[in-house]
Amino acid sequence: MLSPLAKVDGRSYADEQLFVDRDIPTPAAPAPKPVAEPARSSPTNLLLPHIDVKLDFDQKIYWAAMRPSRHPMITMELLQDMMCVQESVRAIMEEGNREQRQHLEYFVAGSQTPGVYNFGGNLAYFADCIQREDSAGLRKYAYACIDVVYGNSVAFQPPLITIALVQGDALGGGFECALSFDVLVAEKSAKMGLPEVLFNLFPGMGAYSFLSRKIGTAAAEKMIMSGKVYTADELHQLGVVDVLAEDGQGENAVMDYIARNRRKHNAHRAIYRSRRRIDPVTYEELRDIVDVWVEAAMNLDEQDLRKMMRLVTAQERRSDKHE
């Protein structure tokens, strides 16, 4: 999975140093470089409990990978870290604007859990909220999810290109997250799908919005209603996956993609910005769909919830095989 890449100015990260709030820390002075360069005040020492951050200023790439997890799902804690990452990208880009230079051109999001990108929503929490008739708790979680995917979909506002690197299973909300980036790179063994219909629900945190803009409404609905898990190759043929990589070569495929398109970065960045203007996914749209999703979730009966929990058990067995 995502292996360690360039360290920030020669420094490494210590897991025991956790960055757990929204404030951006001020880094220590960078180590001297062969070519003199102004000291940076950007958050290059971002340390998070659930996301590993590597900054490669030479290649102008921000690498972010979800740390290994026994049960890789989207928790509120992971969402908080994702928001911290987005804020640090903005801070670095704003600093570059002040210096009239661009520190970053690409953002890459991956996972370090073997065989899994992310299994998506916390289904056990969903079931608990539904049984307790806690629609407010369910809505709070879902709004936090769309805060993140909306930020992804607008490239965090600064002008850079975002890439999802999927090297394992991306299901439900994990697939929705990957769909929210400009470019989706996937290894051939990766599998992706939206299983929510199997327990009488639908993916409510962006899948319909992103898929319909990428492959059309009819194809998006067919995929959502099928509940099918697709191979990366199938999704590449459908136009969902942009770059298909050999197994174990996902990072190299990302680097190759960047190298091939580096000289056209300005054009590509402008094209993606134009796409967002022509057919934007607005926050209001995502929020309205979440409200529909919460209403539908609260209508699930005990049989539906049992199916949901069986999927949780299946995912846990799938994770245990990779330990």
Give the start-to-end residue ranges of the domains of the chain: 51-252+263-320
At 322 the pLDDT is 55
* CA–CA gap between residue 313 and residue 323 (Å, rounded): 16
At 323 the pLDDT is 56
At 101 the pLDDT is 84
For residue 177, the Cα-to-chain-centroid distance in whole angstroms is 4
At 157 the pLDDT is 82
- Residues in the chain predicted with pLDDT less than 70, given as ranges, are 1-45, 319-323
* CA–CA gap between residue 16 and residue 3 (Å, rounded): 19
Topology of the domain covering 51-252+263-320: 2-enoyl-CoA Hydratase; Chain A, domain 1 (3.90.226)
At 22 the pLDDT is 28
**Rounded to two decimals, what is the model's pTM?**
0.84
